[in-house]
Amino acid sequence: MQLTESHRQYWRKNLNITAWLLLAWFVVTYVVGFYARDLSFTFFGWPFSFWVASQGSLIVYVVIIWFYARYMNQLDEEHGVAEVEED
């Protein structure tokens, strides 16, 4: 199968968004978690670093998944490979 320029653009955009979202995941998981221990005040009876590391990261993960799904649906439509919904 010969790849067209449209296939190459689709794959390049897919790899770019995946790389950026993995970078965001890494920052939220490791960088924020590493520096969160310096936040030494309590928040609802728990150390604030606990909330940043556990609750805040989960919210960001859901946003990353939502954004990726939305972006890929738009990219699929743009390149003519979107799923056809049947009634």
Q: Is the pLDDT of residue 87 over 70?
A: no
- In contact, 49 and 35? CB cutoff 8 Å: no
pLDDT tens figures, 12-67: 999 999 999 999 999 988 887 777 777 677 777 777 776 777 778 889 999 999 99
pLDDT tens figures, 70-85: 999 999 999 888 887 7
